[in-house]
Structure 1
Amino acid sequence: MAQKTIAFFPEAAFGPALNSVGIAQAVEARGHKAVFLSDPGFVDVYKGYGFEAHPVNLSEPMPPEQMAKFWEDFINGHIPNFRKSPYDQVDNYVKDCWTAIVDSAKWAQKDLPSVLSTIKPDVICVDNVILFPAIKQYGKPWVRVISCSENEIEDEDIPPHLSGCGENDHAGHQRYRDHFNAVIKPIHDDFNAFLAANNEASYPIGQFFEASPYLNLLLYPEAAKFKRQHPLDPARFQYLEGCVRQEKPYTVPTFAKNNDGPLLYVSFGSLGAGDVDLLKRIIAALGKTRYRALVNVGGYKDQYTDVPGNVIVESWFPQPSVIPQVDAVIHHGGNNSFTECLYFGKPAIIMPYVWDGHDNATRVGEIGCGFGMPRYDWSDAELIAKIETCLTDPAMKAKLAKTSAQMQSQNGPEKAAGLLEKLL
């Protein structure tokens, strides 16, 4: 096939960004050109992997360092809300997020038409939770990538997105939906007015995006799929079984103590690293154990002065190269961490704070591949007991081995590249 141009437009977060990098790597291996439409703060991320990237303003233009700090400050300002239930976060964190997301769609509409006419893509892949009218109206096939939990595509029988509800808690599902829709209504009305102004039909309450008529790629693996009342049509919806990018190799360093102990990896993502007190508490608890731990502390490394000999802290780790070498992972439930642990067959303890972390913390327990734990309400003994189960439970080990084999046999990025080529 002649070389085609495939554009990727992920939201400005490392999870979606790096999933799209994985697919873009596979697309280029097939001889096509992958380009990125990017929030200005993420342009250098894509360039760092060797891709062309075109800025699209998703907010008031500001210098890149200020842009990167905007979301960091946004998250850090909400740390007190991380103690609240998903239901109680709707009134604060979730409401503020949707306000910002709707604003991003309005800003994008100013830049997208000219950027698309410059790039001239043959297909556009959007990994976001909101519709950008210019992409739908461009006249080429567009693909929706769902890199968060699959419940972004609603169904009456499955937990609502962001709710953290159990699969069978149908009363909880309804309670969350009703609360979400009531709080979000003014923001949703504003978005529908924006859609009308751009010749798009309005969405029903609670909905900010639609499935693509061409192709929808879900990163959720088979092992974690929900049983839907309306099964998704495989002609339009394909599960990728994760989407793990190629990353530079990582050599585990020598530890000052416990150098032969089980190895843990702890990461709350680039934004969750702002919760320094929590990470320090986990480090102190692990410092008294037989384990070793690699801990991702983001841009706050200078705040960790008294680190135990069995713990190594770094500002960043090449996560897909680290997880295969560890025995268990403690993370925040972001979808990359969730799917990478399953892909490499590693048990996880998920301490969620926002967004689909709540859903993944519940789901990892339901499918027998780890535990959800409250973020703050735990004792050292409870944490250690959960880690021990992760390291020794035979049923969990068997489930993870089966899930890993299934996911690795699929090769998500390669499968995605093949499906995009078919679409072309």
Structure 2
Amino acid sequence: MANKTALKVLFVPILGEGHVNPCIGIATQLIADGHRAVFTANDVWRPKLAAYGVETVELTDSNEDPANDTDSCAQFMIDSGKIGGASAIEKGRLEAFGAEFWTKHAQYLDTQLAGLLPAIRPDVIVVDQLVTLPSVELLGIPCVWCWSVGPLVMVDDERAPPGESGLSATGDPRLWHEFRQLVRDVKREKWRAFNDWVVGRGCEPLPEHCFHNPSHYLHIYGYPLELDYQDIRPLGRNYVRFDNFMRTERHMTFAVPPELDAKPGKLVYFSFGSLCPVDVQNMRRLVAILAKSPHRFIVSMGPKHKEYTLANNMWGAESVPQLSVLPLVDLVITHGGINTVTESLYFGRPMIAMPGFGEQYDNAQRLHDKGFGLRLDAYKCSEEELLAAIETLLSDKALAERLAEVSRKIQIDNSLAKVSQLIKNFVQNRSKYVD
């Protein structure tokens, strides 16, 4: 029997794994509950989305869009210094480049959406972007903002550390202020230019320092309560937390390769996501260190996987089905991306977080502060530090028990199952969430 109240939900994510994958998790839940999920996508993502039963609307690939694909984003990150050995504070001085990159992306995408939206006619739009899209706001229908970049980036609240700083929530607020002011100063002119463009498109002016109007949206984010900052800065009614936006990968399977399975030692998953591994020199350095460990490693090697070689105690590929790998391993070495962090906690795995850029610094510090793992410097950690951290976490039985309890809670709660009803309620009664 057809669902007479089925919604047509349009997803407009940044076309990178860190943004598309959470949207897939939400979309597959909506589809399971009888709704339609449609993504704006390009040729790279269309077949991947089809595997999940997701419909797509074509976006035109163009060199005009700086966020056209993962390779383009990775090259920008390298060229701008966002990926590299500089500290989070040093990278804060580069934020003008990031602001220009993402506002140009929004302007190009907005032009396409303005032509597509009238024909798509969705009931609700889910965006996973970093800045506002006027064509979405001007359509006048309910809009949900899915945040896959961490809660400190989602809300800049002076009661908490600034996003992308990696500063501790128990640290010196004076350092928070200094970092926050630094980033505001370097982004000020880019914000003014973008605000002028948004107003010129017919939208309300943006709040100062902010590249979107928070009050216009229902905001949803995936972050376990054990890591969240709600204890120091509660959120408004239009912000709803989920433990994660984890997708299912029933169409993917994984078994430990026989040559690795036959070797001794614990099993460790090493993944720096889709962007950080483009720094091949650093990947080679870390692989050389891990080669001296008595344990075994499954490595997600990234887009430049042909440019470096793994050691005998490792197996890897350009990418691996992470959700099939995580239940098999004893430890995760990660860049601290929000998807890997939330998924590792779902399976109760301890983490060594070695952030490369952005909110990864915040996630790594939060894991460290909350005792779910250790934060190390991806570029400066010594051989002794990394190998010792592996042994420390693998031998910590109290941590293993604590993580097992967190995992049970998250899996039983299954908060993503509530997302369809939440979006449906928002569509039917926006005033309950947005003034």
The residue aligned with 1:368 is 371
- Give the partner amino acid of 1:175: E
- Give the partner amino acid of 2:400: K
The residue aligned with 1:269 is 273
Once superposed, which parts of structure 1, at least 4 consecutive aligned residues long, lie more than 6 Å away?
none
1:280 equivalenced with 2:280 (yes/no): no
Checking the alignment, whether the CA contact within 8 Å between 1:143 and 1:217 is kept in structure 2 is yes
Checking the alignment, whether the CA contact within 8 Å between 2:138 and 2:203 is kept in structure 1 is no
- Give the partner amino acid of 2:78: N
> Please, which runs of 5 or more residues in structure 1 have no aligned partner?
none
CA displacement, residues 132-185 of structure 1 (integer Å, 9 cap, x when unaligned): 111122121111111221112122111111111110331111001110011001
Checking the alignment, whether the CA contact within 8 Å between 2:267 and 2:296 is kept in structure 1 is yes
The residue aligned with 1:118 is 119
SS at match of 2:197: helix
Which of residues 280, 296, 301 is equivalent to 1:292? 296
The residue aligned with 1:69 is 71
Checking the alignment, whether the CA contact within 8 Å between 1:158 and 1:227 is kept in structure 2 is no
TM-score by length of 2: 0.90
TM-score by length of 1: 0.92
Kindly state the Cα deviation for residue 256 of structure 1 after the two structures are TM-superposed: 5.1
Checking the alignment, whether the CA contact within 8 Å between 1:323 and 1:341 is kept in structure 2 is yes
TM-aligned CA distance change 1:112 to 1:85, over 3 Å = same
TM-aligned CA distance change 1:160 to 1:204, over 3 Å = same
1:237 equivalenced with 2:233 (yes/no): no
The residue aligned with 2:128 is 127
1:330 equivalenced with 2:337 (yes/no): no
Checking the alignment, whether the CA contact within 8 Å between 2:299 and 2:314 is kept in structure 1 is yes
Give the Cα separation in 2 of the matches to 1:35 and 1:208: 25
Kindly state the Cα deviation for residue 252 of structure 1 after the two structures are TM-superposed: 1.2
Query: What is the aligned residue count?
Result: 420
SS at match of 1:69: helix
- Give the partner amino acid of 2:127: V
CA displacement, residues 252-307 of structure 1 (integer Å, 9 cap, x when unaligned): 112358624100111111111212222222222222222000111122232234x3
The residue aligned with 1:356 is 359
Give the Cα separation in 1 of the matches to 2:232 and 2:18: 29
Kindly state the Cα deviation for residue 214 of structure 1 after the two structures are TM-superposed: 5.2
Give the Cα separation in 1 of the matches to 2:100 and 2:72: 14
- Give the partner amino acid of 2:155: I
Kindly state the Cα deviation for residue 354 of structure 1 after the two structures are TM-superposed: 0.7
TM-aligned CA distance change 1:343 to 1:111, over 3 Å = same
SS at match of 2:176: helix
Give the Cα separation in 1 of the matches to 2:226 and 2:397: 17
TM-aligned CA distance change 1:7 to 1:81, over 3 Å = closer
Checking the alignment, whether the CA contact within 8 Å between 1:59 and 1:107 is kept in structure 2 is no
Q: Name the % identity.
A: 30
SS at match of 1:106: helix
1:315 equivalenced with 2:315 (yes/no): no
> Please, which runs of 5 or more residues in structure 2 have no aligned partner?
428-435
SS at match of 2:118: helix
TM-aligned CA distance change 1:227 to 1:140, over 3 Å = closer
Alignment of 1:122-271 (within 5 A): 122-151=123-152, 152-169=154-171, 170-213=173-216, 215-227=218-230, 230-233=233-236, 235-247=237-249, 248-255=252-259, 259-271=263-275
CA displacement, residues 333-366 of structure 1 (integer Å, 9 cap, x when unaligned): 1111111111111111111111111111111101
Give the Cα separation in 2 of the matches to 1:165 and 1:159: 6
The residue aligned with 2:349 is 346
Checking the alignment, whether the CA contact within 8 Å between 1:8 and 1:35 is kept in structure 2 is yes
Give the Cα separation in 2 of the matches to 1:308 and 1:419: 48
- Give the partner amino acid of 1:19: P
Kindly state the Cα deviation for residue 43 of structure 1 after the two structures are TM-superposed: 3.8
- Give the partner amino acid of 1:239: R
Checking the alignment, whether the CA contact within 8 Å between 1:243 and 1:411 is kept in structure 2 is no
Checking the alignment, whether the CA contact within 8 Å between 1:11 and 1:127 is kept in structure 2 is yes
